[in-house]
Amino acid sequence: MSRFLRRHGWVVGLSALFVVLFVATRIIQPGYGAGDFGSLVRAVLPYAFAVAAQTVVVIAGGIDLSVAAMMAFTSVTAASMMAGASEEYAIFVVPLVLALGFVLGAVNGILIVVTRVPDIVVTLATLFILQGAALLVLDAPGGGVAEWLKGLIIGTVPIPGLPDAVTAWFPKALLLLVVLLCAVWIPLKRSRLGLSIYAIGSSELAAFRSGVPVARTKILAYAIAGLFAAMGGLSLTMSTGIGAPIPGPYLLASVAAVVLGGVALGGGRGGLLGPIIAVFVLRLVRTDLTLLAIDPNVTAIVEGSIMVAVVMFGAYVTIRSRAS
Amino acid sequence: MSISASAPASVPAGRRIRRFMSDYPLVPLVVLLLLLVLVLHILQPGIVNQRWIANTVKFAIPLALLAGCQTMTMLTGGIDLSVGTVATMAAFIVATQGVDNPPAVAMALALIPALLIGFANGIGVGVFRVHPLIMTLGTSLIGVGCLQVYQRTVIASGAKVPEFLTWLGTGLTWGFPNALLLFIPVAALLIFIQRRTGFGRLLYAVGDNERATRLAGVKYWQVILALYIFSSVLAGIMGLLYIGLIKAPSLSLAEPLVLPSVAAAVIGGTSIFGGRGGYTGTILGALILAVLTTLLTILQMPEGARRILFGAIVLLVTAAYLRIIEDR
């Protein structure tokens, strides 16, 4: 038990924080129920994918500033392809957009490996490029989305044998999130590639000397991030019904949640679960502030202060643990 | 280097040019700048005249000032992404406070948030050892929130840009932009700090090998705190200048300049990992970006294509520059 706590202490602490916040929400607003939880999950969806994308790259020792732009680009691509098209056409659009994200992410990685320019600069440049490409696809918010895709994240999962009051707490969006994240992350974590990603994150030189194909691993890490970003873009289109070419606030949110989730920014440490719980915590804080009827502008200040405070605390703990 | 000393004649011409460029890293930048101006001249003969040059310099100066913040912080291996928010806050406050207060008071008030944000950044990065990217993004988020709240309290009072700032931002004296009156001393100060003062040497030292500097007895957090306050105040001053140039306060005035300011410093040869670079290159980088923007505007590209090209060029220039520098 103590070993489990030591290894997963951060995640356990975060989960506890989430529970505390949830109870606080119920106290603030006794009527906060399953329906509200469903809308929380729907709001979290694009953030969660952005965070997943950032997590993979950060574990590999890099950083991806182009996450939000990538989401905007994949979102407008999906929305403009599905606009006015038949329902069945969307079946082709979804894998196409996911592949697009994968390829664009790989391009990020290839550029970093080939040009040897620092990852911050490369992804900054691709941020510009993807923003521009998104504007070329759609110069104003528009496009459409197939109804069945929208339906994927609305409503709850009916579980046979359980009463409605319980299944109401399992929104479809949560199922979609868990299934998609697990489908990519679990095989990755268990594979040789996953190990290599952690290896190049903790020490590129040591990994190289141990025979890890550093270049290939890095490219694949960015490609997987691209895939997650494409999922995020699709989920944006699914929840809004349109595509918007201007990137949302997902970059800062993703970095903050990665740090809050216990992933070391230097790379090589952490998992996916922590950042995902962190994103739920951050969104729930926002909900609470709204429920407390605080001016939305003040909410931004409080939210920012919380992120900064948490990050400072995390950094402080890291120093202390290193010193002892 | 030892090879070249023993057998100078056997070095091929290509290598010699590269070596020359890596010894004088500013030369390729100047060449690139002239090349861009030349392309501009060919595309639109007659555009390159004194007025155009003055105008380009006028718009390059705010970018160069912000890029100065990036250069200073990047020397220690950091980055300051809160400069856009700081500059916007300074600009917005000076314009709204300028209605009731004398310009000097308004300007002093405008620099207070810059000091506070710089202080917070310095404490976060220096004492708590938060990654600068995160810390400055976070404080800029808080700053934006504060600015929005502040905006609602002054929404009725209107805005007035002090005349001195308009004169400084847009005016020309004998064909030279007045902004140079601010920029030349600031640039001289930055270069002086970097090359001639102990503080400058500490910045390079911290960026080069933080552990060694620490073991040598340097108070890391004091250096970082001073650095981020300096960077923030510089960004605030840039905001004052920029509002004189743009004249219309808004809540995202300087935000679009943040990423280009990083690009300018990087193109100018400052290493994002710290320890290498200087402000002279950054000034050239800012000029290159300013000319590039004109070029793309003249080509009448849609906004999207312009951004794509901008990104591609930043990447290409950085990659090419790295090749030249690292080929020692």
pTM above 0.90, yes or no: no
Percent of chain B with pLDDT over 90: 9
Residues A42, A155: Cα–Cα separation, whole Å = 10
What per-residue string of b and e applies to A141-159 under the rule 16 or more CB within 10 Å gives b?
eebbbbeebeeebeebeee
Q: Of A175, A144, A159, A164, which Cα lies nearest the Cα of A38?
A: A175
Q: Of A99, A232, A85, which Cα lies nearest the Cα of A153?
A: A232
Q: Which residue has the tokens 């390059």?
A: B60
Q: What is the mean pLDDT of residues A169-185?
A: 87
Under 8 Å CB pairs connecting chains A and B tally to 143
CB contact under 8 A, A300 and B137: no
What per-residue string of b and e applies to B36-48 under the rule 16 or more CB within 10 Å gives b?
bbeebeeeeeeeb
Residue type for position A209: R
Domain ranges of chain A: 34-248
Instruction: Please say whether the beta carbons of B306 and B254 come within 8 A.
Output: no
A36 — contact with chain B (CB < 8 Å)? no
**pLDDT tens digits, residue range B147-195?**
888 888 877 777 777 777 777 777 777 777 877 878 888 888 888 888 8
Low-confidence winner among A111-115, A176-180, B9-13 (lowest mean pLDDT): B9-13
Residues B36, B295: Cα–Cα separation, whole Å = 8
Residues B6, A189: Cα–Cα separation, whole Å = 53
What per-residue string of b and e applies to A3-19 under the rule 16 or more CB within 10 Å gives b?
eeeeebebbeebbebee
pLDDT of residue B6: 46
Sign of CA pseudo-dihedral A71, A73, A74, A77:
positive
Q: In chain B, what residues touch A295 (CB-CB under 8 Å)?
A: 149
- What 3-state class would DSSP assign to A273? helix
Q: In chain A, what residues touch B322 (CB-CB under 8 Å)?
A: 115-117
Query: A46 CA to chain B: closest CA distance, Å?
Result: 20
Helix axes B50-75, B83-97, angle to 10 degrees: 120
In the structure, what pLDDT confidence band is assigned to residue B22 with cuts at 50, 70 and 90? low
Q: Encoding tokens for residue A5?
A: 């706590």
Choose, out of B140, B255, B318, B326, the residue to mutate when testing the contact with A (most A CBs < 10 Å).
B318
- What 3-state class would DSSP assign to B129? coil
Instruction: Please report, for residues B70, B228, B262, the alpha-carbon distance to residue B74 in angstroms, rounded to integers and kept in the order given.
Output: 6, 11, 9
Instruction: Please report, for residues A246, B6, B140, the alpha-carbon distance to residue A229 in angstroms, rounded to integers and kept in the order given.
Output: 15, 54, 24
Cα nearest neighbour of B314 on chain A: A125
Q: What is the mean pLDDT of residues B121-143?
A: 84
CB within 8 A of B185, min separation 6: which ones? none
Residues A182, A177: Cα–Cα separation, whole Å = 8
Instruction: Please report, for residues A257, B33, B90, B98, B250, the alpha-carbon distance to residue B109 in angstroms, rounded to integers and kept in the order given.
Output: 34, 38, 8, 10, 18
Choose, out of A116, A119, A308, the residue to mutate when testing the contact with B (most B CBs < 10 Å).
A308
CA max distance for chain B: 76
> Does residue B20 sit within a domain?
no
Q: In chain B, what residues touch A116 (CB-CB under 8 Å)?
A: 319, 322, 326
Q: Kindly tell me if the per-residue pLDDT of A6 is higher than 70.
A: no
CB within 8 A of B293, min separation 6: which ones? B59, B310
In the structure, what pLDDT confidence band is assigned to residue A33 with cuts at 50, 70 and 90? confident
Cα nearest neighbour of B264 on chain A: A121
Q: Work out the mean pLDDT of chain B and round it to a whole number.
A: 82
Q: Which residue has the tokens 């504060």?
A: B146
> Does residue B311 sit within a domain?
yes
Residue B172's φ and ψ, nearest 5 degrees, are: -125, 140
Q: In chain B, what residues touch A133 (CB-CB under 8 Å)?
A: 304, 308
Q: In chain A, what residues touch B122 (CB-CB under 8 Å)?
A: none
Q: Kindly tell me if the per-residue pLDDT of B232 is higher than 90.
A: yes
Cα nearest neighbour of A300 on chain B: B145
pLDDT of residue A1: 57
**pLDDT tens digits, residue range B38-77?**
888 888 787 777 788 888 888 888 999 999 998 989 888 8
CB within 8 A of A72, min separation 6: which ones? A130, A131, A134, A233, A243, A244, A245, A246, A247, A248
A187 — contact with chain B (CB < 8 Å)? no
Element (DSSP H or E) covering residue A62:
none
A307 — contact with chain B (CB < 8 Å)? yes
Instruction: Please say whether the beta carbons of A224 and A20 come within 8 A.
Output: no
Q: What is the mean pLDDT of residues A116-123?
A: 83
Residue B177's φ and ψ, nearest 5 degrees, are: -65, 140
Residues A263, A266: Cα–Cα separation, whole Å = 9
Structural domain including B251 reads 35-323
Choose, out of A297, A305, A318, A322, the residue to mutate when testing the contact with B (most B CBs < 10 Å).
A297
**pLDDT tens digits, residue range A283-324?**
888 888 888 877 777 877 887 787 788 777 767 776 776 655
- What 3-state class would DSSP assign to A302? helix
By a Cβ cutoff of 8 Å, what residues of chain B touch chain A? 79, 120, 124, 128-131, 133-135, 137-139, 141-142, 144-146, 148-149, 152, 259, 262-263, 266, 272-273, 302-312, 314-315, 318-319, 322, 326
Residues A41, A241: Cα–Cα separation, whole Å = 17
> Does residue B41 sit within a domain?
yes
Neighbour-count burial of B23, counting CB atoms closer than 10 A to its CB (0-12 exposed, 13-18 middle, 19+ buried): exposed
Instruction: Tell me how many domains chain B contains.
Output: 1
pLDDT of residue A96: 92
Query: B87 CA to chain A: closest CA distance, Å?
Result: 18
CB within 8 A of A96, min separation 6: which ones? A81
Residue A73 or A146, more confident: A73
pLDDT of residue A231: 93
Q: Which residue has the tokens 């193109």?
A: B267
**pLDDT tens digits, residue range A237-270?**
888 888 888 777 788 788 888 888 878 777 778 8
Residues B58, B175: Cα–Cα separation, whole Å = 11
